[in-house]
Amino acid sequence: MKQNILAISGKPGLFLMLARGGNTIIVETLDQDRITSLNDVSIYTDDGDDIKLMKVFESMKEHEQGKAVAMDVKKATKEQLAEYVGEVLPNFDRDRVYPNDMRKLISWYNILVENGLTDFVDPEETEEE
Say if residue 17 is in the same domain as residue 61.
no
Per-residue confidence in pLDDT tens, the chain, 129 aa: 677 888 888 888 888 889 888 889 898 888 766 667 888 999 999 998 899 999 999 999 999 999 999 999 999 999 999 999 999 999 999 999 999 999 999 999 999 999 999 999 887 765 555
Q: How many domains does the chain have?
A: 2
- The CATH number of the domain holding residue 113 is 1.10.10.1650
Say if residue 26 is in the same domain as residue 77.
no
Say if residue 25 is in the same domain as residue 48.
no
Say if residue 1 is in the same domain as residue 53.
no
| Range of the structural domain that residue 92 is part of | 38-128
Say if residue 109 is in the same domain as residue 67.
yes
Q: 42-45 long-range contacts, Cβ below 8 Å, gap at least 24?
A: 43/89, 43/92, 43/97, 43/101, 43/105, 44/92, 44/93, 44/96, 44/97, 45/89, 45/91, 45/92, 45/93
